[in-house]
Copies of this chain bind each other. A is one copy, B any other.
Amino acid sequence: MENNKITIHDIARILKIDSSTVSRALNDSDRVTQKTKDKILAKAQELGYQRNHLASNLRKSKTYTLGVIVPRISRHLFSSAIAGVEETAYKMGYNVIICQSLEQLERERNIVGTLLANRVDGVLLSVSMETINYDHLQGLKQRNIPFVFFDRHCNISDNSNVLIDDYQAGFDATEHLIGQGCKHIVHFSGPQNLEIYKNRLKGYLSALQIYDIEFRKDLIIESRLMEIDGVENAKLLLELPYKIDGIFSANDIAAIGAMQYLKQQGIRIPEDIAVVGFSNEPISALIEPSLTTIDQPGFKIGKTATTLLISQIHEGATKMKSETIILKPNLIERKSSLRKFESGNY
């Protein structure tokens, strides 16, 4: 049990100075001579001293821990975002507790309780598809714990967000399909309690209007976020009284099911039906390498949200001005080209 048990007192004793001076030196305080600082740092290095964060944090009554709540870790957008969160957090001296709501409001509620019990300094969250009221976030507000929504946000006032421009994404996707000559474009949408799906729909509608394409209500197919729903969507699509030549899917999970079903039915993508979907799941791009996708910068979302949150933590309860940062999604056109392996941090 040779636990590295060197404390500031050990250093102090050896150097015949007080531990408070050692503490100051180790924190690079300007109330210590550079000379003693050097001496202390050298000795600390020599002994392999490592600060005990538990003690330090207890004293400062800060945990240097952030809570992150996502619907599901294994979704690509969220795992990418988490990667970004972790990187930024560690760099700024924070640890991260990651929790999955599994799309259930009940679990989301419990998680907030857990994070409170863990006394996190701040929370990042992307709400579940069941989340329609925000009572469970009151505890955070009461305790003055800052929180930042990312991607799946809520339209409650006075809170910070890091989002992608879903309206623009919807517009771009639809515009792209129109540019391909599509006349009857189906829109797969998701739960309308989530802002992101509302906004993507708005983008779709705008594009139709601007390009003077007649809007038909039955071309909007809304479903939950499940593959099996996508199959149903595809069936509905095939029963429509128009020849569908395009799909803009805002619902990446459903799109996967739908595309599989369509292919089974012998429908060729994109020859028979052009498709633009979100690449939250890299899957959608791979079912059909030629697929044009809206790529969301998950890693960047995570980094940005974390930076914002930590800056709010540092500001303290002073102003706590809420801020919304909107990132641009990218429309990536693929013409049977191979998807490049993204070796970067994603």
When the two chains form their complex, are residues B96 and A98 in contact, meaning their CB atoms are under 8 A apart? yes
**Does A270 belong to the interface (CB within 8 Å)?**
no
B residues within 8 A CB of A253? 341
A residues 59-74 touching B (CB-CB < 8 Å):
61, 63, 65, 72-74
Nearest B residue to A338 via CB reads B260
Contact of A58 among B55, B261, B282 (CB under 8 A): B55
When the two chains form their complex, are residues B50 and A58 in contact, meaning their CB atoms are under 8 A apart? no
When the two chains form their complex, are residues A143 and B3 in contact, meaning their CB atoms are under 8 A apart? yes
Given known pairs A53-B118, A144-B1, the reply for A286 and B79 (CB within 8 Å) is no
**Does A136 belong to the interface (CB within 8 Å)?**
no
When the two chains form their complex, are residues B283 and A286 in contact, meaning their CB atoms are under 8 A apart? yes
When the two chains form their complex, are residues B343 and A226 in contact, meaning their CB atoms are under 8 A apart? yes
When the two chains form their complex, are residues B76 and A317 in contact, meaning their CB atoms are under 8 A apart? no
Q: Mark A304-346, 1 if CB is under 8 A from B, else 0.
A: 0000000000001100000000000000000010111101011
**Does A116 belong to the interface (CB within 8 Å)?**
yes
Min CB–CB distance A184 → chain B (angstroms): 25
Given known pairs A263-B289, A287-B286, the reply for A338 and B99 (CB within 8 Å) is no
B residues within 8 A CB of A96? 97-98
Min CB–CB distance A251 → chain B (angstroms): 13
Contact of A76 among B74, B80, B346 (CB under 8 A): B74
Contact of A336 among B61, B102, B264, B343 (CB under 8 A): B264
When the two chains form their complex, are residues A227 and B119 in contact, meaning their CB atoms are under 8 A apart? no
List the 4 shortest-distance A-B pairs measured between CB atoms, nearest first. Answer: A227-B341, A74-B79, A54-B58, A79-B79
Q: Return 14 A-B CB contacts under 8 Å, by A number.
A: A1-B144, A3-B143, A4-B116, A4-B143, A50-B119, A73-B80, A95-B95, A96-B98, A102-B345, A226-B343, A227-B338, A260-B339, A264-B289, A264-B338
